[in-house]
Amino acid sequence: MSTTSASIERLAVDTIRTLSMDAVQAAKSGHPGTPMALAPVVYLLYQEVLRYDPLRPDWPNRDRFVLSCGHASMLLYSVLHLAGVRQLGPDGKATDELAVPLEHIQQFRQLGSRCPGHPEYRHTSGVEVTTGPLGQGVAASVGMAIASRWLAARYNRPDFPLFDYNVYALCSDGDLMEGVSGEAASLAGHLKLGNLCWIYDDNGITIEGHTSLAFSEDVAARFRAYGWHVLAVDDVNDLAALRRAIAAHDPAGEHPTLIVVKSVIAWGSPNKQNTHDAHGAPLGEEEVRLTKQAYGWPEDARFLVPSEVAEHFRQGVGTRGPALRKQWESLLQSYAERHPREAEELRRIFAGELPPDWDAEIPDFPADAKGLASRASSGKVLQGVAKRVPWLLGGSADLAPSNNTLLSFDGAGHFSRETPGGRNFHFGIREHAMGAAANGMALSGLRPYTGTFFVFSDYMRPAMRLAALMELPILYIFTHDSIGVGEDGPTHQPVEHLAALRAIPNLVVIRPADANETAEAYRTALSLKDRPTALVLTRQNLPTLDRSIYASAEGLRRGAYILREAEGGRPDVILIGTGSEVHVCLAARELLAADGVAARVVSMPSWELFDMQPQDYREAVLPPRVDRRVAVEAAGELGWHKYLGPRGVFVGMTGFGASAPAGVLMKHFGLTAENVAAQAKRILASG
Ligand SMILES: Cc1ncc(C[n+]2csc(CCOP(=O)(O)OP(=O)(O)O)c2C)c(N)n1
Ligand SMILES: [Mg+2]
């Protein structure tokens, strides 16, 4: 193929288009239309705009590109291939290997390919965030933009602008229909994140047909009302107009930017363009041929990368990127000489390490029969940890006074445009965006925490699921964990939420029984680098156990432990409790002892941590021969049978709660020592 310099851009854009069409066709499934339409956007971003080094996709100050419409994954894979982005090894260091070799594009959507159906963080280097569920990518991009501002505020020094990266996200109609993007855009506008730019593919098409079926507001006006700067590009193929719009984004300014770009889905396909058929199905062999004809492409070529296109990218981002990154590295080197303490913090941030003695200010709680709510002990522990880990930061969805999540020590500050180094975030009543923003913050090296009532974990669950999938170490602080909430009633009383969170793979759920277990929960959660943790905490007081009588709270690290052995060391029955119900079990043990029944009490704050233990430990805590077991939890039963076995019994909730004082509810629903003791005797009597 012969090219003039004027046509090379078009050739490069068409390479992205045809690679995408060919991959979808070979896979016999996927989404060809949107990559074909949006190829000019990613071409321009990678080749001219992003400060991005393909050799070092982990460079901390790189501009981020988020493909929020993850169904258009081939768009990203094509450009990552052409830009020559390298794969990071298991040690996190860049290798010489391409992140997306051509053979992997040929194996699009097949097992083991670096080109899975939707982009997956960690799996393919250069993918900044896992996307697929619409709205999550743009919402996470807000967290990335927050992190850029926060890192700049904390670490930049005169003459050392170490952090000034921008975040670009490409989104579709579906992204902007989803509520989470609205929450996130509202937050970004409020926080004046000028370093954020969303490019909206206004193609008028979704799966069912034209967007007029379901989407008729003035999106530009909506974003202006959020405080965004809104620009329009009438034709995505007009590279000059796209360039002008991107150049009009003012990263140092006060407004995030939305660029509304008109495109035609499956552009160039004679029979499929501008139809919803082109969204999620291969074009078909014949239509691929006709489209290539229309592009002036060799009709029968498959997965063709013209050598001049490869060279064009090498001379573009392949040259520009490494030069920028090397400049930054030498800046970091002189920074390290002038500001060694800060440089050491940065090293730890990007290695996922904590400062030495990070847990030195975690308090020890003295035994106390009245005790305190685990939300209160959590608040105290959080302060202690946050004082020692400067990049532990976060906030609540307007419930900080109830969640005890406000960092109140000197210098903690509040994050805003004027004070971007603040560590307290006010996410507003936007749980879903809070969860997604936390993902973006964690993806940037920070250790975020979030807070809300446990019952509203439902509102942020999709973001939590992605955090677990991406292996992000986020701390979710949930309070008001059961019918113990009391008078607020069933709308505020979680029942199925423990089961729902335990069902998410790679999420650790911890429901501590007292203040010292809460302290241990923080020790455990902070040291987990590759998974999020949900702390499930009470509103009501819990006695602080006397650990000279009961086993050490360190047992929490193993998920479950023998808190109090049965009288005589030979249990007839095992009582297993979590959180507030551990105390019910302890009281039941005394009632049973008075009747000559020997009961062991196991505190089981975390199923996930327990399941990670070797079999001999698990069998020491729950010996197979003691098959009479009672599990007590003020929640639904789902899943408990794996610890109870066929002869065990569950004491908990079978439906929704009710509005009444907590003590009354506990009695009403049978969460009492008397009932637990009676159930234990019943299964012992059953032979
Ligand atoms: C939360 C969520 N709901 C539904 C889907 C399934 N889905 C994938 S793409 C899409 C809509 C396609 O329309 P649009 O977002 O405009 O993308 P386009 O086809 O224009 O690229 C839907 C409903 C999804 N990926 N995520
Ligand atoms: Mg669309």
Atom of ligand 1 lying closest to residue 203 CA: 20
Cβ distance 99 to 84 under 8 Å? no
Q: What is the DSSP string of 546-592?
A: -TTTSPPGGGGGGS-EEEEPPGGG--SEEEEE-TTHHHHHHHHHHHH
Tens of pLDDT, residue by residue over 415-453, are 999 999 999 999 999 999 999 999 999 999 999 999 999
> Sign (positive/negative) of CA torsion 50, 71, 476, 255?
positive
Bridge partners, residue 631, by sequence: 576, 650
Within-domain flag for 207: yes
| Residue 6: per-residue pLDDT | 56
CATH code of the domain covering residue 309 = 3.40.50.970
Report the residue among 172, 265, 461 best suited for mutation to probe ligand 1: largest number of ligand atoms under 8 A from its CB: 172
Q: Is 106 exposed, middle or buried (0-12, 13-18, 19+ CB in 10 A)?
A: middle
Count structural domains, the chain. 3
Which of helix, strand or coil describes residue 533? Answer: strand
Instruction: Indicate if ligand 1 lies below 6 Å from the C-beta of 73.
Output: no
Torsion from C-alpha of 35, 36, 39, 40, nearest 10 degrees: -140
Looking at the structure, tell me whether residues 244 and 272 fall in a common domain.
Answer: yes
| Residue 2: per-residue pLDDT | 45
Which residue's CA is the closest to the ligand 1 atom numbered 25? Answer: 133
Instruction: Indicate if ligand 1 lies below 6 Å from the C-beta of 484.
Output: no
Looking at the structure, tell me whether residues 569 and 538 fall in a common domain.
Answer: no
Looking at the structure, tell me whether residues 491 and 596 fall in a common domain.
Answer: no
Which segments of the chain have a pLDDT < 70?
Answer: 1-6, 687
Within-domain flag for 348: no
Q: Is 652 exposed, middle or buried (0-12, 13-18, 19+ CB in 10 A)?
A: buried
Which of helix, strand or coil describes residue 286? Answer: helix
| Residue 390: per-residue pLDDT | 98
Q: Which ligand is nearest to the CA of 177?
A: 1
Entry field: residues in the chain: 687
Looking at the structure, tell me whether residues 590 and 534 fall in a common domain.
Answer: no
Tokens at 60, concatenated: 């901390």
Ligand 2 centroid – CA 201 distance (Å): 7
109 Rama sector, left if φ>0, alpha if ψ -120 to 50, beta otherwise: left
Distance in angstroms (rounded) separating the CA atoms of residues 507 and 476: 10
Instruction: Indicate if ligand 1 lies below 6 Å from the C-beta of 265.
Output: yes
Range of the domain at 245: 8-324
Atom of ligand 1 lying closest to residue 70 CA: 25
- Cα dist from 551 to 75, 130, 360, 562, 618, whole Å: 56, 42, 22, 7, 16
Ligand 1 centroid – CA 394 distance (Å): 30
Buried b (16+ CB within 10 A) or exposed e, 445-483: bbbbbbbbbbbbbebbbbbbbbbbbbebbbbbbbbbbbb
Ligand 1 centroid – CA 3 distance (Å): 37
Atom of ligand 1 lying closest to residue 201 CA: 20
Within-domain flag for 362: no
Instruction: Indicate if ligand 1 lies below 6 Å from the C-beta of 277.
Output: no
Which residue's CA is the closest to the ligand 1 atom numbered 9? Answer: 71
Instruction: Indicate if ligand 1 lies below 6 Å from the C-beta of 134.
Output: yes
Longest dimension (CA), the chain: 94
Looking at the structure, tell me whether residues 496 and 561 fall in a common domain.
Answer: no
Cβ distance 384 to 526 under 8 Å? no
Looking at the structure, tell me whether residues 501 and 588 fall in a common domain.
Answer: no
Cβ distance 684 to 628 under 8 Å? yes
Distance in angstroms (rounded) separating the CA atoms of residues 224 and 189: 9
Within-domain flag for 338: no
Within-domain flag for 536: yes
Q: pTM of this prediction? A: 0.98
Instruction: Indicate if ligand 1 lies below 6 Å from the C-beta of 633.
Output: no
Tokens at 143, concatenated: 């967290």
Instruction: Indicate if ligand 1 lies below 6 Å from the C-beta of 133.
Output: yes
For residue 431, indicate whether it is catalytic.
yes
Within-domain flag for 340: no
Bridge partners, residue 355, by sequence: none
Of the residues 183, 431, 520, 581, which is catalytic? Answer: 431
Looking at the structure, tell me whether residues 259 and 292 fall in a common domain.
Answer: yes
Looking at the structure, tell me whether residues 480 and 389 fall in a common domain.
Answer: yes
Looking at the structure, tell me whether residues 497 and 573 fall in a common domain.
Answer: no
Within-domain flag for 331: no
Query: Which of 324, 352, 379 represents a domain boundary (last residue)?
Result: 324
